[in-house]
Amino acid sequence: MSILIRTAFAALTLASLFCGCGARKETAAIEVIDKKYPIDPDASIRINDPHGSISIRGTDSSEVQLHATKVASSADQLKNISVSVTAQQNGVSIKTNFVRSKAKPFLGGGDRVDYELSIPRSLKITRLDVDDGKVSIESVQTSELRANVVDGELELRNCSGDIHVAVQNGDLALLYNAREPRPSSTDARVLHGTLTLSLPRSAAFHLRAETTKGTITSAFAQTVEVKGGALRKIDISSGQAPRSEIQLEVMTGNIIIADASADARTASHSASGPNSSGNSH
């Protein structure tokens, strides 16, 4: 395990506190932590981060690489933020702890911890919790992936396995590129927000989607009105078995089901441009 910890004080003005004798400026305090942990490829990881972002990328490796950035409104407040890591060969647990300052509201002033992690792509993500922030997970092919965001955003890109993800207030996106995605089981839920699923048309899947207060638009099935109202529930299958089982549920908000193949063709055409052949008129 190699450890590199460095602390820097950013010359960024966060706030001006006005009083009778003028204004006092405070600068952000930043601490960066880099660690590496050897781990079994079929081990597990748990992460709890009340305030901040988490970015996870699956790779062909045998270690967890952790890059954490602690940000606080002052050097004193930075001391009240800790990153606790428990690491063994069969699992890693990461927890962010905030100590409330008497002079400031809890998690006030933009205090947060942002994580960037590189993990073995088969590592199980048994629990990931964020109260306020953005989570992105890419190229993880595991037997278990569970993530929950209270306020913020959650994005999964090219992930497969037994997936259970939820967002209470914010947007959730499940994105797969034009390559054939591996069969998996996905349960995705949003309380208030938009849920987007993007799949290549060649994918084999059974999709059930429902929104209580919202609409569903789908590139794989004709969007129709039911008894004068918008489509709010669909059940469609595409491709041959084995199929991925996908369950989408939104309480208040819309569900968008997009064709990733069409998006890729559009992007390729836009990149080439009308004069890419070099002909001029």
Question: For position 175, what pLDDT does the model report?
Answer: 96
Whole-number pLDDT of residue 105: 53
This prediction's pTM = 0.82
For the chain, what is the largest distance between any 2 Cα atoms, rounded to a whole number of angstroms?
74
Task: Identify residue 247 by its one-letter amino acid code.
Answer: Q
pLDDT of residue 267: 43
Q: Is the confidence at residue 142, as pLDDT, over 80?
A: yes
Average pLDDT, the chain: 83
| Residue 188 exposed, middle or buried by CB count within 10 Å (0-12, 13-18, 19+) | buried
Position 162, amino acid = D
Instruction: Examine the pLDDT at 4 and tell me if it is beyond 70.
Output: no
Mean pLDDT of 159-172: 97
Give me the sign of the Cα torsion angle 177, 159, 116, 113: positive
Instruction: Assign 40 to helix, strand or coil.
Output: coil
Stretch 269-274: mean pLDDT: 50
Query: Band of the pLDDT at 275, cuts 50, 70, 90?
Result: low
Q: Using one digit for the tens of pLDDT, what is the confidence trace for 69-118?
A: 999 989 999 999 999 999 999 999 999 999 866 655 544 568 999 999 99
Tokens of 66: 């952790």
Task: Give the mean model confidence (pLDDT) for residues 43-68.
Answer: 97
**What is the DSSP-derived secondary structure letter of residue 77?**
H
Domain boundaries, the chain: 1-13+27-122, 160-270
pLDDT at 185: 96
What one-character DSSP code corresponds to residue 183? P
Do residues 69 and 131 lie in contact, with contact meaning Cβ atoms separated by under 8 Å? no
- Give the pLDDT confidence score for residue 264 in this predicted structure: 46
CB 263 within 8 A of CB 198: yes
d(CA 153, CA 167): 7
Give the pLDDT score at 273.
Answer: 55
